A and B are shown apart, each in its own frame.
Chain A
Amino acid sequence: MRNDDATLADAASLPRLATVAYARPMTSAPDDSILMRQYRDGDPAAFEMLYRRHKDSLYRYLSRLSYDRDAVDDVFQEVWGKIINARSTYKPTAKFRTFLFRVAHNCFIDHLRRNERHRQPSLQDIEPPASPGPEPDEQAERALLRRRLDAALADLPEAQRDAWLLHEEAGLNVDLIAQVTGVNRETAKSRLRYAIDKLRAALAGNGAEAADAPRRAGAGEKP
């Protein structure tokens, strides 16, 4: 247990990689809604900027929802196709990122309905690339942690994984997660709480923390 905590502490002390989950845009960069408007008015460069700003987080979100590379590519392309088609009707009433991930969530649900033989994720589907920097021992240790985290993510119930990924990749809070997934706030909060507890337990190396999660989360929440 102490060893695991030390490992987590080491993980936190490592320099953050450039590929953060949801990088904040630069202050000088135009807003998403402005880019969308420029694209609607016929500027393809605005769409390219918008696309490059959000593509990776969306791709990771879909990758960990499906774990099927072909399906991920299809849904990813479908999502952006819908964004392209919605350029004339898009109104910046909400953040573009929220809009984008709501479209992605709905497209993924539609994809599941179309393909009922949605296979369960496995670690062979997506192999995380090795990150340069740490020493070989540390590298091996962090690779082990990443594998454990990936396995824990894959084991999460789909709704909880969805809530966690929306929180991490899209940077949505509980209210927006509820809005995107079409559930009430308490349900969204409960799903996120369970997901976090299970992932923490998986990284700690035992299931005790995950087993305690329902008791801490409250009587109305289900794992």
Chain B
Amino acid sequence: MNSPSNNRPGDVAESRLRDLYRELAVETTPPELDARILADARAALRDRPAPSRIWMRPLAVAATLGLCVALVLEIGTGPDGTPVIPDPAADTREEIGHAARESRAQKMGESQAAKALPATNSFSDAVAAPGERPARGDTSAAGASSDDLRERESPDAPSDALARQAVRPEAALLEEAVVPATQSGTDEASAGKRQAVDAVARGCDERATRDAGLWLDCIDKLEAAGERALAASERRRRRAAFPDAD
């Protein structure tokens, strides 16, 4: 009832009052004040952060979260529940070993490389092979009859020399990479396995060739390792050395 719009007798007077006020109230802002405020408005737009920066924040948060989740998933847990951190050096060793074998294969020729190199992928094979050269010489000295074996095991064979040259730079790298892993002292089992595979790789050593039974075991190991050509060569050598063994 007391609302200005409901007071009917006062409506006319109120309307006149309003009209008079509109006549009265004609002040406007000074131009310099307008200019100042509009300049402030433009300056505020210039100072605002770029839209890319605004979007960078959620992007950075999302990337951080994704990285954390990926890291947690990558770590995983061991059998006893302890977190297991994957060894990136293992992958590196494997890759470098693979590269070394490929390089050797290129140098020695496909067929000879297939005979000379074991069908393993471990980095330790690639590292151990150059260092075991004298043992191969011993095997050769024991009187190998196979031509291909002789060629492979001869220290002066040109293809072998090339292979060594090819392997050497990678082996130098690998030795640096392998030092922490071998120094850990926890890899004795793998070291034993590596020696066995190395023995297979270079054929049967002198000790094995002294005994017909040990030699046969060695030949069996070669066959089991897929080195059939080498095994056949060793078998021929064994027959020559122990014609009455079988």
Cβ-neighbour of A17 out of B10, B22, B29 (below 8 A):
B22
Residues of B near A217 (CB, < 8 A) are: 2
Which residues on the A side are within 8 Å of B22 (C-beta)?
A: 16-17, 19-21
User: Contacting A149 at CB < 8 Å: which of B3, B20, B30, B48?
Assistant: B20
Residues 31-63 of chain B, each 1 if its beta carbon lies under 8 Å from chain A, else 0 = 001101110111011001000000000000000
CA gap between A64 and B2 in the complex, in Å: 25
State which of B15, B17, B33 has its C-beta within 8 Å of the C-beta of A199: B17
- B14 at the A interface (CB under 8 A): yes
Assess whether B21 is in contact with A149, with CB atoms less than 8 Å apart: yes
Query: Which of B29, B30, B41 is A39 in contact with, Cβ under 8 Å?
Result: B41
Please give, as numbers and ranges, the residues of chain B lying within 8 Å of A174 by CB-CB distance. 3
A206 within 8 A of B: no
**Residues 7-31 of B at the A interface (beta carbon under 8 Å):** 10, 12-30
A92 to B239: give the CA distance in the assembly, Å.
99
Determine the chain A residues whose CB is within 8 A of the CB of B26 once the complex forms.
Answer: 17, 19, 128-129, 131
For A81, give the chain B residue with the smallest CB separation.
B40
Which one, A17, A64, A80, A189, contacts B40 given CB within 8 A? A80
Confirm or deny: A77 has a beta carbon within 8 angstroms of a beta carbon on chain B: yes
The reply on A193 being an interface residue by CB < 8 A is: yes
Interface residues on A, range: 35 or more
* Contact-residue bracket for chain B: 20 to 34
Which residue of B10, B18, B24, B41 is within 8 Å of A84 (Cβ)? Answer: B41
Chain B contact residues: helix, strand, loop or mixed: helix
Q: Please indicate the chain A residues that have their CB under 8 angstroms from the CB of B14 in the complex.
A: 196, 200
Task: Report the bound CA distance from A89 to B91 in whole Å.
Answer: 52
The answer to whether B243 has its CB under 8 Å from any CB of chain A is: no
In angstroms, Cα B20 to Cα A128, docked, is: 12
Kindly state whether residue B131 has any CB partner on chain A within 8 Å. no
Q: How far is the CA of A218 from the CA of B13 in the complex (A)?
A: 20
CB neighbours (8 Å) of B78 from chain A are none
| B27/A203 in contact, CB under 8 A | no
Contact B23 A146 (CB under 8 A): yes
B10 and A51 contacting across the interface, CB-CB below 8 Å: no
In the complex, how many angstroms separate the beta carbon of B58 from the nearest chain A beta carbon? 16
Q: Is the CB of A131 within 8 A of B23?
A: yes
A47: contacting residue among B10, B15, B41, CB under 8 A: B41
Given contacts A19-B22, A146-B23, A196-B4, contact A55 B38 (CB under 8 A): no
Known contacts A48-B38, A80-B41, A84-B40; 13 additional CB pairs below 8 A are A11-B16, A14-B23, A21-B18, A48-B41, A51-B37, A56-B27, A77-B33, A128-B26, A128-B27, A192-B4, A196-B4, A200-B14, A221-B2
A sample of 20 cross-chain residue pairs with beta-carbon separation below 8 angstroms, ordered by A number, consists of A8-B16, A17-B22, A19-B26, A21-B25, A44-B45, A47-B41, A51-B34, A51-B37, A56-B28, A60-B25, A64-B25, A73-B33, A81-B37, A146-B20, A149-B20, A149-B21, A168-B21, A168-B25, A193-B4, A216-B2
Which 6 pairs between the two chains have the least Cβ-Cβ distance? A8-B16, A146-B24, A47-B41, A12-B16, A60-B25, A80-B37
